[in-house]
Amino acid sequence: MSPLTRVILRALAVLFGAMPFAFGLIRAIETGTDVRYVWVALAAMFGGMIVIARARRSGRPLQPAAIAVAVFVTSTVLAIGAAMLLGTRFGPGILVVAASFAACFAAASLASVSAARQR
């Protein structure tokens, strides 16, 4: 893999990882007080961080697709949990938000692990 490809993958990882926070900040600015999306984004990010840290500590070769799936599932569960703790009722709205945020972090992990793996 060329150095340029690695740089592009890392830039994509940053872009995907920043998207949930951008949506959260847009929501906070539009409403003036509602920062729930920011908290949900933080919870989803924490889920991704847990998966990546465990995968790197395992000592086994990193499998980008498997890590992305694990990040998606973990991030979705933690995002839903955070939203429920913030008073959101379980329903399609929180499922869409949590899955969307988790998909962003899964894509970020896929790009990041792929860039790191191909040295």
From the list 2, 94, 110, 8, the residue with the least C-alpha distance to 55 is 110
- Write the CA distances from 64 to 21, 28, 45, 115, integer angstroms: 23, 33, 17, 10
Task: Look up residue 65 and give its two tokens.
Answer: 């697709």
From the list 9, 24, 66, 85, the residue with the least C-alpha distance to 58 is 66
The structural domains of the chain, with segments of one domain joined by +, span: 3-117
pLDDT at 1: 78
Average pLDDT over residues 64-74: 95
HSE-CB for 116 with a 13 A CA cutoff: 15
pLDDT at 78 over 90: yes
Indicate the DSSP class of residue 35: -
Q: How confident is the model over 6-64, as pLDDT tens digits?
A: 899 999 999 999 999 999 999 999 999 999 999 999 999 999 999 999 998 988 888 89
Alpha helix locations (H) across the chain? Answer: 3-31, 36-57, 64-85, 92-117
- Write the CA distances from 66 to 56, 60, 62, 87, integer angstroms: 13, 12, 8, 32
pLDDT at 119 over 70: no
pLDDT at 3 over 90: no
- Pairwise CA distance, residues 61 & 67, whole Å: 11
Percent of the chain with pLDDT over 70: 98
